Amino acid sequence: MTSWTELTDANARAAFAAYFAKVDRALAALPRAEAEEIKRELELHALDAVSEAGDAQAALAQLGDPDEFLADLVADKLRARAARTFSPVDVASALARSAGAGLAGLALSTLVGIGYVVAALAIIMGVSKLFDPAAAGIYRLPDGRIFIGSGDILGGVDIIGIWFSPLAIAAGALLYLALTWVFGRATLRKVAQR
């Protein structure tokens, strides 16, 4: 048997249809070819289990709840894709998926998300200085402390002037690239409870 649609028992077909509709929903965030490959593997696995156990419900229960075991897989694949493309859209999608894949995923997404906010701020400050030299910079305050940021710096001396712009933009971009590279290699592997 190569497809669950060939199952002769109507109850078994209904169970497979409901299960693989759930699989489709769980894999919806992935590119179609990737999702189809995973679905095909699961289908063949379930059909083998039916041939062995003779019971579709038992075979599908043995495979587990797709919402649980596919959440990590989808999050892993989206992170890997983000690390390949470095596209902000892929990064945002991976962040959202990882945040929904349990506590470890939420913690990882939060930490990396904070990093992205810092990277974005650096780039925004760098760009804004190009248009308004007083918008941001690295300042030496009257009491000798160094301040990096934006706003009215009373009595502060702008140390590097316009050089702040390329440096801040480069630092933000490098942070973005490094975070995305690390994020793509992070692993959230858990074995679901039975």
Q: Which residues bind another protein (CB under 8 A)?
A: 2, 37-38, 40-42, 44-45, 48-49, 52, 62-66, 68-70, 72-73, 76-77, 80, 187, 189, 191-192, 194
| Cβ contacts of 107 within 8 Å, gap of 6 or more | none
H/E segment holding residue 10: helix 10-26
Closest listed residue to residue 125, CA positions, set 140, 138, 108, 110: 138
**Distance between CA atoms of 23 and 39, rounded to whole angstroms?**
7
Beta carbon nearer to another protein, 76 or 90: 76
CB of 148 to another protein, least distance (A): 37
Beta carbon nearer to another protein, 24 or 52: 52
- Which stretches of 27-101 are DSSP H helices? 32-53, 56-63, 66-85, 88-99
CB of 91 to another protein, least distance (A): 17
CB of 127 to another protein, least distance (A): 35
Helices 10-26 and 32-53: angle between axes, nearest 10 degrees: 150
Contact 50, 12 (CB under 8 A): yes
CB of 194 to another protein, least distance (A): 6
Beta carbon nearer to another protein, 26 or 136: 26
CB of 122 to another protein, least distance (A): 30
Beta carbon nearer to another protein, 9 or 37: 37
**Structure tokens of 126?**
């760098």
Beta carbon nearer to another protein, 145 or 189: 189
In the β-sheet with 146-150, what is the strand arrangement from edge to edge?
Answer: 146-150, 136-140, 157-158
